Amino acid sequence: MRRLIRPALSGLLAAAGGIATAELVASLVRPESSPLVAIGGTVIDATPTPVKEFAVATFGTNDKPLLIGTILVVLAALAAAVGVLAVRHRTAALLAIGALGLVGAAAALARPGARPLDALPSLLAGAVSAGLLAWLAPKAVTAPPPPSPASGTSPAAGTSEPATAPESGTPPVHETAAAPGPTGRRSFLVAAGLVALGTALAGGLAAIIRRTGAQAADEARDAITLPAPADAGPPPEQTPGFYTPNQDFYRVDIALTVPRIDPRQWSLQITGMVDRPVELSFDDLLKQPLIERDITLNCVSNEVGGPYVGNARWLGVALAPLLRAAGVQAGADQIVARAADGITIGTPVATVLDGRDAMLALGMNGQPLPPEHGFPVRMLTPGLYGYVGAAKWITSLELSTFSSFDAYWVQRGWAAMGPVKTASRIDRPKAFAQLAAGTVTVAGVAWAQHRGISAVEVQVDDTPWQQARLLPVPSTDTWVQWVWDWPATTAGSHTLRVRAVDATGAVQTEQRADPFPDGATGWQTLAVTVT
Ligand SMILES: Nc1nc2c(c(=O)[nH]1)N[C@H]1C(S)=C(S)[C@@H](COP(=O)(O)O)O[C@H]1N2
Ligand SMILES: [Mo]
């Protein structure tokens, strides 16, 4: 086994050197061209939807560091194996490492929105790793030293290396027979040290360059003063909990690293089936008359009672007038938004033009959009799930048709149309709470964006449904907070159930459905104990 340590280490070091080189070049070319990011993105895209759902549900936003970590562990294992392979089959090992580089390059080129130059970091990673391995491998295995004249029978490595034997506590026989002699060992250690140093330098430099880019974007964001809206809409609500603070707002996206976009280098193209394609800078958008609206956003992946819903006050440019100015051509029924993380999101043209406050949002709860929520500009379409109406980090809007193009999640089986389903949630008491007998406040939220909520009802065990009190809302586009005072007098275990009625009079369905393919349904039920 010990004979394998150095070969495995040379494989690891060669791969680390190659990857660090790639990260350095990627930080100069384009962060998305990093082999780790490209392979990670490919794994995410190839992961079957149920597994993805499981990962999001189990690990939340930590699913991404976990993925990168897993890829690194797999790469490390492969690299060590290739290093060992190099002992006997040097050429095969070098070809294997080169092939890994090609896999990275293929992944980078297959990413949505890829450019030819994106292959460069991975190709370099392969070439540099192969070169390093070719250099390290011969030093990791040295032919047994010639028999020492001093010891007749045994190769007696021990006698020629008096310093190591006592240290390692290993009898200086057989074991070290095939190991490099002192010169070989020293030259391996020196070479390995050099590669490690080079790797650390390249990796460190890549991190610094990346951080500098992110800092420039953050500074540009900090320097933004959002203009006052020309149309502020209804005044802000005062009820605690109505707005979700930015740092608590749920986050769902496919981005492995949050895109850090410098608004001065950003522009939005409106292209495709339009008479007058336009390109707008961030400043162009700031100069437009802005609207400010309260809009609730939720994810199609949210389970009944789940956390992927939030409500914010958004500042932005109304999308309908922009589209009309560009001249939407007859037949165009889908807006395909493209974004910095490579996603495509398809929104119905008819929905955006039907008078609702679909917007290009620049501000969230009085701040420029946080990077996590789409800085510098995202789309919002009240009444649609995020995956069909709320593209973050947008770079272009292409007027197109549903019959000619399936957006990212639609390619993966999710519904092309994603109107939100009526839903309600109990936020207190919590499931399995122990409650003192008396009046218990039962409260939560209910939403049916753009239709509105007309009633929320609560049921205890199998007793009749009770009307909850609804708190005021500015429009039909937000969730509604509801409260019901439960006279909880009977000790024991009880079941609480909630359902909403939308403003068309339709009662939220009791029928349980999974989020896939167009949103979960069913009544939330929880058990509590009165003592
Ligand atoms: N660029 C980009 N935009 C995106 C996504 C994404 O993966 N990439 N995810 C969508 C989904 S599925 C949802 S639910 C919302 C979530 O927005 P939030 O993270 O700001 O809450 O963003 C939408 N916009
Ligand atoms: Mo979503």
Residue 487 belongs to a domain with what CATH number?
Answer: 2.60.40.650
pLDDT interval class at 475 (50, 70, 90): very high
- Same domain, residue pair 259 and 374: yes
- Same domain, residue pair 53 and 130: yes
Query: Which one of 345, 377, 411 terminates a domain?
Result: 411
Q: Please check the confidence at residue 160 and state whether its pLDDT lies above 80.
A: no
| Shortest-distance Cα residue to atom 4 of ligand 1 | 391
Q: Please check the confidence at residue 506 and state whether its pLDDT lies above 90.
A: yes
Q: Is 343 in the pocket of ligand 1 (CB under 6 A)?
A: yes
Residue-wise pLDDT tens digits, 282-314: 999 999 999 999 999 999 999 999 999 999 999
Output the pLDDT for position 146: 52
The span from the CA of 499 to the CA of 460, in Å, is 12
- Whether residue 489 is contained in a domain is answered as yes
Query: Which one of 343, 376, 411 terminates a domain?
Result: 411
Can you state the angle between helices 2-29 and 119-140, rounded to 10 degrees?
160
- Same domain, residue pair 401 and 433: no
For the chain, the average pLDDT equals 90
Give the DSSP letter of residue 328.
B
| 119 alpha carbon – ligand 1 mean position (Å) | 27
Length of the chain: 531
Q: Which residue has the tokens 């339709």?
A: 506
Q: Which ligand is nearest to the CA of 408?
A: 1
pLDDT interval class at 199 (50, 70, 90): very high
To which H or E segment does residue 47 belong? none
| Shortest-distance Cα residue to atom 22 of ligand 1 | 386
Q: Is 252 in the pocket of ligand 1 (CB under 6 A)?
A: yes
| Shortest-distance Cα residue to atom 9 of ligand 1 | 253
The span from the CA of 241 to the CA of 16, in Å, is 48
Q: Evaluate whether 524 touches 447 at the Cβ level (below 8 Å).
A: no
| Shortest-distance Cα residue to atom 12 of ligand 1 | 387
- Whether residue 457 is contained in a domain is answered as yes
Counting Cβ atoms within 10 Å, is residue 512 exposed (0-12), middle (13-18) or buried (19+)?
Answer: exposed
Q: Evaluate whether 35 touches 121 at the Cβ level (below 8 Å).
A: yes
Q: Which ligand is nearest to the CA of 297?
A: 1
| Ordered DSSP codes for 441-472 | EEEEEEE-TTT-EEEEEEEETTSPPEEPEEPP
Q: Is 361 in the pocket of ligand 1 (CB under 6 A)?
A: no
Which atom, in ligand 1's list, is nearest to the CA of 252? 19
- In order of 372, 375, 389, 479, the CA distances from 254 in angstroms are 11, 15, 15, 26
- Whether residue 155 is contained in a domain is answered as no
pLDDT interval class at 47 (50, 70, 90): confident
| 141 alpha carbon – ligand 1 mean position (Å) | 52
Neighbours of 442 (CB within 10 A): 21
Give the DSSP letter of residue 395.
E
Query: Which one of 362, 384, 411 terminates a domain?
Result: 411
- Same domain, residue pair 324 and 256: yes
Q: Is 390 in the pocket of ligand 1 (CB under 6 A)?
A: yes
- Same domain, residue pair 391 and 441: no
| 253 alpha carbon – ligand 1 mean position (Å) | 5
CA nearest neighbour of 242 among 473, 484, 522, 531? 473
CA nearest neighbour of 383 among 347, 344, 410? 347
Output the pLDDT for position 181: 58
Give mean pLDDT, residues 27-36: 88
- Whether residue 487 is contained in a domain is answered as yes
Q: Which ligand is nearest to the CA of 307?
A: 1
- Same domain, residue pair 405 and 433: no
- Whether residue 217 is contained in a domain is answered as no
Kindly give, in sequence order, each residue whose CB lies less than 8 Å from that of residue 272, ignoring residues fewer than 6 positions away.
332, 336, 397, 398, 399, 400
The span from the CA of 525 to the CA of 424, in Å, is 11
Q: Evaluate whether 364 touches 297 at the Cβ level (below 8 Å).
A: no
Angle ∠(380,384,390) on CA atoms, nearest 5 = 30
- Whether residue 161 is contained in a domain is answered as no
- Give the CATH number, domain containing residue 320: 3.90.420.10
- Same domain, residue pair 68 and 93: yes
| 391 alpha carbon – ligand 1 mean position (Å) | 6
To which H or E segment does residue 101 belong? helix 90-110
The span from the CA of 522 to the CA of 189, in Å, is 64
- Same domain, residue pair 389 and 319: yes
pTM, full prediction: 0.84
Question: How many structural domains are present in the chain?
Answer: 3
In angstroms, how far is CA 30 from the centroid of its own chain?
18
- Same domain, residue pair 58 and 207: yes
The span from the CA of 301 to the CA of 362, in Å, is 25
- Whether residue 318 is contained in a domain is answered as yes
To which H or E segment does residue 347 belong? strand 344-348
List the strands of the sheet with 278-281, edge to edge: 278-281, 267-272, 394-400, 334-339, 344-348
Residue-wise pLDDT tens digits, 233-252: 999 999 999 999 999 999 99
Output the pLDDT for position 59: 76
Counting Cβ atoms within 10 Å, is residue 331 exposed (0-12), middle (13-18) or buried (19+)?
Answer: exposed
Residue-wise pLDDT tens digits, 387-445: 999 999 999 999 999 999 999 999 989 999 999 999 999 999 999 999 999 999 999 99
- Same domain, residue pair 494 and 381: no
Q: Evaluate whether 503 touches 451 at the Cβ level (below 8 Å).
A: yes
The span from the CA of 14 to the CA of 140, in Å, is 12
- Whether residue 238 is contained in a domain is answered as no
Q: Please check the confidence at residue 332 and state whether its pLDDT lies above 70.
A: yes
- Same domain, residue pair 289 and 201: no
Q: For residue 342, what are the domain limits?
A: 246-411
- Same domain, residue pair 255 and 375: yes
